[in-house]
Structure 1
Amino acid sequence: MESLGAIIKQWPTGKNALQEADRLLGELLGDPLVERLRAEHPELDRETIRLNLNRVYQYVKEQRSCSDCPGLDRCPNDFEGHYTLLSCETVGETVQLNDRKVMCNKLRTRQNEEQIRSRVRSFYVDETALSQGYSADEILTSDLKRSKAVMQVFQYIDKTKESGLQRRGLYLAGSFGTGKTFLMCYMLYELAKAGYTGAIVYMPDFVEDLKMLMHEPGKLKETVDLMKETDLLIFDDIGAENLNPWARDHVMGAILNYRMNRKPTFYTSNYDLDMLERHFSFTNREGDELHKGQRLMDRVRPYVDTVLVTGHNKRGV
């Protein structure tokens, strides 16, 4: 349907214009939407509809568009993602017809999804892992060999939703391509829907970028503070990074020291905890530093439950 203004421009002038207006009024009065509106508001008479012809026409036009919605990006309504809703009220002896714009379900869903995504930050991790929809059934059944690990993650999500943010996190250990990162992204997405903020950090790239951030103290502080304060922090593929003493002691140490006993930290790794400790105890610059590796692990080991993720390598499939 065209806009009423466009239709009026095509009308003849004078008496014929009045006839066209009466014809349009008759069409609207016979429309099922208007008939239903009048059944809900018996006080809505013909004259009131005639005086509010533009409102009634807009209402019918937009309701029809919504009933055959072409999608939010191609919304034909004047105000994208909204439709006109009419209501009646009687003031003295006068019947007033009021209109208002109402957000449609598709726009409401989109805004909810954008709000969820805004709660999650990604550092060097593929954004599609966080933006796509997830099916719990598919995650559970796609690889039955990892079903025990999946159930542990599901239980953690449920516990957080029921009783609030936990102090302990999870340490997902397993071989390449078994879906550890995917499970953590699923957890972030589900808990973001519950209102929690989160960040996932791909450790090999993060440690490399720290070398540049050393010369940008303001940006470094902003990054570290975000990782300290976010509700859920995931260090992805920890143990694969080329660690140096400064990154280990002054960045990782500071973040984990702040978060322990406050907020949960999560990890994915191809190493178990003992292997990770050996990794932390050796740097290319200073060689073997067992006590410093142990000191960092004191901020990891007591604050996680280990989840062994087994299954098939899904990369390249």
Structure 2
Amino acid sequence: MESLGELLKSWPGGRSISERAESKLAELIEDPLIVKFMDKYPGVDESTIRLNLNRVHQYVTEYRNCSSCPGLDACPNDYEGHYTLLSAETLHGVTQMYDRKVSCKKYLARQTEDAVRSRIRSFYVDDAALRRVYSSDDILTKDLERAKAVGQVLRYIDRTRETGLGQEGLYLAGRFGTGKTFLMCYLLQELAKAGYSGVIVYMPDFVEDLKVLMHDPAKLKETVEMMKSTDLLIFDDIGAENLNPWVRDHVLGAILNYRMERKPTFYTSNYDLDALEKHFSFTSKDGDELHKGQRIMDRIRPYVETVIVAGENKRGKK
């Protein structure tokens, strides 16, 4: 933003700087914003304004900039997303003016948004799904067939805000494209606003990457520890992965064993819980291992509320 000194120097005409300053003083005193300010602080008179001419000029200029805000990225004020706020105090007959920088609503909103994003990590899930912003009304009316499921998710969010994290998560089951991942991304966003951290993992890609991480023990341990410790963990499209015994028993089993009485875990799947147990009971390497499938399900079934997500397939639709 152009300073008062630069502005006075750039004025046309042969008048001296002091004459230009007097002219600017007269202009500012008549400005409705300063008239209102002087009404609020009766101790402020023309001489006070003269002594604080640069402060007053900046106050008025930045107020006008904010009134016709071009957006945070194009903010013309000295400090992006901040404006000058004036105040005054009279002690023993002497009036002093003070200025301070205040964050605007857009800047505060961006800070909140950045803080929310910093609490959420995704593995192989499209970040666009996490960036979308919807209200509860939006998700309720987007597909009325899934209204019951939406209600369960909204009640879970409200309950967690009120009473804190519990042990129980949600298991969203339904056909392809009914919005299960979308609902979990919404839950992550809303609870991140309340200060909770979250991780969402697309299981088919995650399992494939684990085969590479087997050869990087440090990275594998870091990944597993993060999934153990995050407040909210979502396994997206569980049951669609190409399962092997090592992933089931030593990775997924370790994560769930740690979390099951500490923090909630969430799932989306095209399978119901019984069908998921069958999926976990068979691997291409070892064939049927019913007891191992049951052992994993003992760490899932008691710790979830089942949510059936009905509705039409929305993939490919605008």
- Give per-residue Cα distances to partners, 1:164-189, cap 9 Å, x unaligned: 11211111111100111111111111
Cα separation, 2, equivalents of 1:152 and 1:13: 71
Matched to 1:130, the amino acid is L
Query: Normalising by structure 1, what TM-score?
Result: 0.96
Task: Indicate conservation of the 8 Å contact 2:59/2:85, yes or no.
Answer: yes
Cα separation, 2, equivalents of 1:192 and 1:51: 48
**CA apart distance, 1:312:** 0.2
DSSP-derived class of the 1:306 partner = strand
Matched to 2:185, the amino acid is C
Matched to 2:74, the amino acid is R
DSSP-derived class of the 1:86 partner = strand
**CA apart distance, 1:93:** 4.1
Aligned length: 317
Task: Indicate conservation of the 8 Å contact 2:188/2:232, yes or no.
Answer: yes
1:3-152 correspondence to structure 2 within 5 Å:
3-10=3-10, 16-152=16-152
- Give per-residue Cα distances to partners, 1:24-75, cap 9 Å, x unaligned: 1000010011111111111111112111111110000000111111111111
Q: CA 1:11 to 1:157, structure 2 compared with 1: closer, same or farther past 3 Å?
A: closer
DSSP-derived class of the 1:90 partner = strand
DSSP-derived class of the 1:190 partner = helix
Match of 1:299 in 2: 299
Task: Indicate conservation of the 8 Å contact 2:9/2:17, yes or no.
Answer: no
- Give per-residue Cα distances to partners, 1:254-291, cap 9 Å, x unaligned: 00000011111111001111111111111122222111
Matched to 1:156, the amino acid is Y
**CA apart distance, 1:8:** 2.5
Q: CA 1:257 to 1:10, structure 2 compared with 1: closer, same or farther past 3 Å?
A: same
- Give per-residue Cα distances to partners, 1:145-182, cap 9 Å, x unaligned: 11111111111111111211121111111110011111
1:155-194 correspondence to structure 2 within 5 Å:
155-194=155-194
Task: Indicate conservation of the 8 Å contact 1:146/1:311, yes or no.
Answer: yes
- Give per-residue Cα distances to partners, 1:220-249, cap 9 Å, x unaligned: 111111111111111000000011111111
Task: Indicate conservation of the 8 Å contact 2:232/2:264, yes or no.
Answer: yes
Cα separation, 2, equivalents of 1:178 and 1:11: 64
Match of 1:277 in 2: 277
Cα separation, 1, equivalents of 2:252 and 2:312: 31
Task: Indicate conservation of the 8 Å contact 1:178/1:314, yes or no.
Answer: yes
User: Structure 1 runs of 4+ off > 6 angstroms?
Assistant: 12-15
Cα separation, 1, equivalents of 2:74 and 2:16: 36
Cα separation, 2, equivalents of 1:119 and 1:78: 30
Matched, 1:216 2:227: no
Matched to 1:61, the amino acid is T
Matched to 1:245, the amino acid is P
DSSP-derived class of the 1:299 partner = coil
**CA apart distance, 1:139:** 1.1
Structure 2, unaligned stretches of length 5 or more? Answer: none
Match of 1:313 in 2: 313
Task: Indicate conservation of the 8 Å contact 1:11/1:17, yes or no.
Answer: no
Task: Indicate conservation of the 8 Å contact 1:144/1:311, yes or no.
Answer: yes
Task: Indicate conservation of the 8 Å contact 1:243/1:283, yes or no.
Answer: yes
* Identical-pair percentage: 69
**CA apart distance, 1:92:** 4.0
Cα separation, 2, equivalents of 1:94 and 1:216: 71
DSSP-derived class of the 2:185 partner = helix
- Give per-residue Cα distances to partners, 1:63-108, cap 9 Å, x unaligned: 0111111111111101110000111123444321111100001100
DSSP-derived class of the 1:95 partner = strand
Matched to 1:304, the amino acid is V
Match of 1:266 in 2: 266
Matched to 2:97, the amino acid is L
